Amino acid sequence: MSALTIRNLTKTYANGVRALKGIDLNVERGDFFALLGPNGAGKSTTIGVISSLVNKSGGDVSIFGYSLDTERSLAKKQIGVVPQEFNFNQFEKVFDIVVTQAGFYGIPAPLAKERAEKYLRQLGLWEKRDKASRTLSGGMKRRLMIARALVHEPELLILDEPTAGVDIELRRSMWDFLTRLNGEGKTIILTTHYLEEAESLCRNIAIIDHGTIVENTDMRSLLGKLQVETFILDLARPVTESPRLEGFEVTLKDAKTLEVEVPKTRSLNALFVALAEQDFEVMSMRNKANRLEELFVRLVEQNLPGEQTS
Amino acid sequence: MSAREQWVAFLTIVTKEIRRFTRIWPQTLLPPAITMTLYFVIFGNLIGSRIGHMGGFDYMQYIVPGLIMMSVIQNSYGNVVSSFFSTKFQHSIEEMLVSPMPAHVILNGFVVGGMVRGMLVGLIVSLLSLFFTHLTMQHVLITVTVVVLTASLFALGGFINAIFANKFDDISIVPTFILTPLTYLGGVFYSIDLLPEFWRAVSLANPIVYMVNAFRYGVLGVSDVNVYASMAAICAFVVAFYLFALWLLRRGTGIRH
């Protein structure tokens, strides 16, 4: 069964802006799904409609088979939402925020408190339970929103930019937490600007731009579409001009650094053989940009109609 | 949501509201107690002793029911308008909108929260008044019914105000420019029978006149207007305001794109 099915979803705001122009999306149960797009592409509107914060103009949304139009209550019970902006009462205590959210789902106080403790502990916030939420750091506030979204134990967790403004160590621990949740069977949909995050965590991906889905496929197939990969090579000795290498585009960035575009049809072995023949010794090598980032930029710039594969 | 789940959700909102206004008691419970004490001292003791009797009672006794109602009106309205608007302003309304709670549970929760504060302040003011005068309740059922209806009506009014409010200024316009004048001109400090015929007729268009008089009838047994007609009118307003607020909430006015 699909965790989320969206059919021909449209949204036109009161000011006439067409944020969604008929998108179709399918997310399977247990998936770890990335929804990417530039600012203003329609990601947050899509999440807003799914989480009932935005009224749609047309189309259908169903969550685990429950229609948002006709089985709203059942559909909403399946979702936990972690929004982009902090949206809890800044004056309430951490523990009260989580317990109150459980109450909104009809969970009796004793069970709500039990679950609040469980998730606050898992997210490293138990020691802060009696603090007013406004006193937490940015990373803690974000974890609080995750605990709040999980307290009614939804099957589908939607996270809108969950690691924005979070330091690297915390981001890694949040990735581990989300991976563990997904391993336990929770379906996760993620929007992020950190494409490394999407590439590391997600199995399937949709790219949205100008209110339409421009790509919707699995991560492996998407990365397979990358025609050229760019590498930065650090040389052992300084050079004055870039080497001429058949089949590769080479730019001399500085005396000891080369930037090389390697087509998918050529192997790295061929590159190193060619460099060795011209007496270039390479000390280290790295990707110029994240692979997904290269694809993302290309797709969004071209806004090509993507092949709908799932 | 099952009925039991809805009940839990409703109690959650009410508890949250009570926790909110008791946490900030110096802003919510203390000021009306001080203000009303000043009214009792100045209008009741100092000026009232020179006015003499009104409606067959000491001036102090006459104004106490009106002052209690004034507290109930201002606080039930003020609680909901500020709480719901803050919820909108901080976007924590989204916590409720993503949940499966039906609109009527959200509305009932906020309205009952406002009623509790209105009636609690009314109780505080009533107890304070006992330091200044002797009060007996002539019609307990009418007194309680009028307080409950009035508190619910103004809590609903506060809710509607908060739905349409876009900035903090918008939540003080109605209390300052409509509610306070209507309350002061609603027969709190005088019997409308003292007014010239024209102004008496004008006063009858003020809904607060009916609430104050119905409550005064419950406490003192005297009223300038027909008590049962007043209660029927308040009930009609409560139903109309409730349906309007529910329609706005379901539609997502002011809270959903």
Q: Are residues A42 and A117 in the same domain?
A: yes
Domain ranges of chain B: 3-251
Q: Are residues A154 and A192 in the same domain?
A: yes
- Is B165:B81 a contact under the CB 8 Å cutoff? yes
CB contact (8 A) between residue B101 and residue A104: yes
pLDDT given for residue A214 in this prediction: 84
pLDDT digits (tens, 9 = 90+) for B125-158: 999 998 888 888 889 999 999 999 999 999 999 9
Q: Are residues A109 and A197 in the same domain?
A: yes
CA distances from A95 to A92, A244, B91, B141, B229 (A): 8, 64, 19, 41, 48
pLDDT digits (tens, 9 = 90+) for B149-203: 999 999 999 999 999 999 888 988 888 898 888 888 888 888 888 888 888 888 8
Q: Are residues A169 and A246 in the same domain?
A: no
| Residue A91 to chain B, least CA–CA distance (Å) | 9
Q: Is the ipTM of this complex over 0.95?
A: no
Q: Are residues A244 and A193 in the same domain?
A: no
CA atoms of B161 and B175, how far apart (whole Å): 10
The reply to whether A100 touches chain B by the CB within 8 Å rule is yes
Profile chain A (310 residues) by mean pLDDT over runs of 10 residues: 91 89 92 87 90 90 92 92 89 94 94 95 91 89 93 93 78 88 92 79 88 84 74 87 84 87 84 87 80 68 47
- Nearest by CB to B257, which of A13, A81, A85? A13
B137 burial level (CB within 10 Å; 0-12, 13-18, 19+):
middle
Residue A300 falls inside a structural domain:
no
Residue A299 falls inside a structural domain:
no
CA atoms of B255 and B233, how far apart (whole Å): 30
pLDDT given for residue A308 in this prediction: 37
- Nearest by CB to A53, which of B4, B13, B94? B94
Indicate the SS3 state at residue A153.
coil
Residue A236 maps to which CATH number? Answer: 3.30.70.1560
CB contact (8 A) between residue A87 and residue B92: yes
Residue A260 falls inside a structural domain:
yes
Please name the residue of chain A whose CA is at the shortest distance from the CA of residue B15.
A100
CB contact (8 A) between residue B100 and residue A77: yes
B222 burial level (CB within 10 Å; 0-12, 13-18, 19+):
middle
Q: Are residues A140 and A75 in the same domain?
A: yes
Mean pLDDT of chain B: 90
- Is A54:A48 a contact under the CB 8 Å cutoff? yes
CA distances from B136 to A85, B126, B133 (A): 54, 11, 10
Q: Are residues A96 and A45 in the same domain?
A: yes
Q: Are residues A97 and A232 in the same domain?
A: no
Count of other CB atoms within 10 angstroms of residue B169: 9
Tokens of A186: 């929770």
The reply to whether A24 touches chain B by the CB within 8 Å rule is no
Q: Are residues A133 and A266 in the same domain?
A: no
Residue A87 maps to which CATH number? Answer: 3.40.50.300
CB contact (8 A) between residue A100 and residue B101: no
Q: Are residues A26 and A91 in the same domain?
A: yes
> Is residue B61 over pLDDT 90?
no
Mutate to test the interface with A, among B83, B96, B99 (most CBs of A within 10 A): B99
Please name the amino acid found at residue A275: L
The stretch B229-238 carries a mean pLDDT of 90
Mutate to test the interface with B, among A104, A130, A159 (most CBs of B within 10 A): A104
The reply to whether A43 touches chain B by the CB within 8 Å rule is no
Chain A 286-305, residues with CB within 8 Å of chain B CB atoms: none
CA atoms of B54 and A46, how far apart (whole Å): 65
Please name the residue of chain B whose CA is at the shortest distance from the CA of residue A47.
B98
CB within 8 A of B220, min separation 6: which ones?
Answer: B55, B57, B61, B62, B65, B138
| Residue B257 to chain A, least CA–CA distance (Å) | 5
CB within 8 A of B56, min separation 6: which ones?
Answer: B222
Residue A194 falls inside a structural domain:
yes
pLDDT given for residue A226 in this prediction: 66
Token pair 């000011």: residue: A15
CA atoms of B101 and B168, how far apart (whole Å): 27
CA atoms of B110 and B81, how far apart (whole Å): 9
The stretch B36-46 carries a mean pLDDT of 85
Which residue range is the domain that position A39 belongs to? 2-224
Contacts of A53 in chain B (CB under 8 A): 94, 97-98, 256-257
Q: Which of A207, A224, A241 is the last residue of a domain?
A: A224
**Confidence class for position B253, pLDDT limits 50, 70, 90:** confident
CB contact (8 A) between residue A103 and residue B1: no
CB contact (8 A) between residue B5 and residue A87: no
Q: Are residues A59 and A147 in the same domain?
A: yes
Least Cα distance to A232 among A178, A289, A158 occurs for: A289
Token pair 């909403």: residue: A76
| Residue B161 to chain A, least CA–CA distance (Å) | 20
Please name the residue of chain A whose CA is at the shortest distance from the CA of residue B103.
A73
pLDDT given for residue B138 in this prediction: 87
Residue A309 falls inside a structural domain:
no
Concatenate the DSSP letters of all residues of A88-110 into one string.
S-TTSBHHHHHHHHHHHTT--HH
| Residue B240 to chain A, least CA–CA distance (Å) | 26
CB contact (8 A) between residue A85 and residue B91: yes
Q: Are residues A17 and A120 in the same domain?
A: yes
Please name the residue of chain B whose CA is at the shortest distance from the CA of residue A83.
B94
> Is residue B211 over pLDDT 60?
yes
Least Cα distance to B129 among B57, B63, B74, B214 occurs for: B63
> Is residue B226 over pLDDT 90?
no
In chain A, the number of structural domains is 2
